[in-house]
Amino acid sequence: MSNLQASNLFSVQDRVAVITGGGSGLGRIIARALAINGASKVFVLGRREDALHETVAQAPSGIVVPVQCDVTSKESLESAYSAVAAQTTHVDILFANSGIMGPMMRQTPKPDGSLPTLSEVRDELFSIPMEEFTKVMDVNVTGAYYTALAFLPLLEAANKRRPAPQVGVMTLPTAQVIFTSSIAGYNRKVPFSYAYNVSKAAVTHVVKTLSTNLLPYHIRVNGIAPGLYYSDMASQIFEDGGVAGGGVSEGSHPAALVPLTRSGSEEDFAGLVIWMSSASGGYVNGAMMLTDGGRISSLPSTY
Ligand SMILES: NC(=O)c1ccc[n+]([C@@H]2O[C@H](COP(=O)([O-])OP(=O)(O)OC[C@H]3O[C@@H](n4cnc5c(N)ncnc54)[C@H](OP(=O)(O)O)[C@@H]3O)[C@@H](O)[C@H]2O)c1
């Protein structure tokens, strides 16, 4: 069989993965995609046990393992690490995917489209408690960063299992951390929330700094910046727009919102994740992968 056959290029056979936020949305897609395609163990982490068990139920049996964890607590991360370490010798890929949107923190235009006064803007934004801003940073930035730190020994163990290089034969990929950032981290006009957008810009920078600092240890660090995918977090946008079926068919969204006029589908996300996790994704390091149907190129100032 040729090296260039898709089944070789994109194989995730026998990979071991850990996914925070694996009980819903994008984390569940990652878990199912890896389990369906031959991963040997996929640990899903999150606070809600029932949600984690639902992911287990939606995947081939015996592959997905639920581990309760709050990424904002070092103790919880330590005990999740111990639970995972008791069931595997190594972790090939860690997805630091948990995230929250937090409260909307944006200057809303008046119904007639006119600009609010500066004091109205100030009242609207200043009324949000600082704690709510900080909580978004706690989960999205601090929690994601400490998740990566917590699992470094098991990632290193994956590197130690790799066979010795053979001249002329591509060496298997090194261990990898993949952070879920967002297009919200790039563009000043993305709506949502100041806290969310700032947190995702920080996550993107964590990808850059960690990938640089972990280079000598051969642990790769990459990120994904999704645009609009149906999930618990994003569901309000779909409800507001009266969008059915996850919005994956063309014509579901106005072109002003998403140029491709549809949301990302589970196939879009699973395909990206499988490639990043596979042998042919092994040369990618310090990179952000955009999957947004062109949305970042055409963002309206409000939505
Ligand atoms: N959907 C989109 O369009 C979109 C776009 C850009 C970026 N993203 C990013 O994608 C990631 C996944 O979001 P999603 O869209 O799949 O939404 P989601 O279904 O709401 O998933 C968020 C996940 O984060 C977990 N989580 C929240 N707080 C946590 C904590 N303290 N400790 C551990 N886990 C925690 C939740 O599990 P528990 O509540 O059980 O803990 C949940 O499974 C997020 O980082 C999000 O910012 C999503």
Does 162 lie in the same domain as 197? yes
Q: How far is the CA of 287 from the centre of ligand 1 (A)?
A: 21
Decide if 298 is inside a domain: no
Instruction: Output the DSSP codes for 282-293.
Output: TT--S-EEEEST
Would you say the CB of residue 66 lies under 6 angstroms from ligand 1? no
Would you say the CB of residue 70 lies under 6 angstroms from ligand 1? yes
Tally of domains in the chain: 2
Atom of ligand 1 lying closest to residue 98 CA: 24
Atom of ligand 1 lying closest to residue 26 CA: 16
Does 158 lie in the same domain as 91? yes
Would you say the CB of residue 197 lies under 6 angstroms from ligand 1? no
Q: What's the pLDDT at 213?
A: 98
Does 162 lie in the same domain as 28? yes
Would you say the CB of residue 37 lies under 6 angstroms from ligand 1? no
From 23, 134, 142, select the one nearest 71 (Cα to Cα).
142
Would you say the CB of residue 182 lies under 6 angstroms from ligand 1? yes
Atom of ligand 1 lying closest to residue 264 CA: 3
Q: How far is the CA of 149 from the centre of ligand 1 (A)?
A: 19
Decide if 301 is inside a domain: no
Does 242 lie in the same domain as 93? no
Decide if 131 is inside a domain: yes
CA angle 29, 99, 294 (to 5 degrees): 65
Does 245 lie in the same domain as 142? no
Q: How far is the CA of 62 from the centre of ligand 1 (A)?
A: 24
Q: How far apart are CA 257 and CA 196, in angstroms?
A: 19
Would you say the CB of residue 69 lies under 6 angstroms from ligand 1? yes
Report whether 174 contacts 219 (CB < 8 A). Answer: yes
Would you say the CB of residue 263 lies under 6 angstroms from ligand 1? no
Query: One digit per residue, pLDDT tens: the chain, 303 residues?
Result: 688 999 999 999 999 999 999 999 999 999 999 999 999 999 999 999 999 999 999 999 999 999 999 999 999 999 999 999 999 999 999 999 999 999 887 777 778 888 888 898 889 889 999 999 999 999 999 999 999 999 999 999 999 999 999 999 999 999 999 999 999 998 766 667 899 999 999 999 999 999 999 999 999 999 999 999 999 999 988 998 899 899 999 999 999 889 999 999 999 999 999 999 999 999 999 999 999 999 888 765 444
CA angle 207, 212, 214 (to 5 degrees): 95
Does 129 lie in the same domain as 17? yes
Q: How far is the CA of 3 from the centre of ligand 1 (A)?
A: 36
Instruction: Output the DSSP codes for 220-287.
Output: EEEEEEE--B-STTTHHHHHHTT--GGG-STTSS-TTT-TTSS-B-HHHHHHHHHHHHSGGGTT--S-
Range of the domain at 202: 6-227+264-292
Decide if 22 is inside a domain: yes
Does 175 lie in the same domain as 251? no
Residue bearing the CA closest to ligand 1, atom 19: 25
Q: How far is the CA of 23 from the centre of ligand 1 (A)?
A: 9
- Show which residues are catalytic: 181, 196, 200
Does 192 lie in the same domain as 243? no
Decide if 28 is inside a domain: yes
Q: What amino acid occupies position 6?
A: A
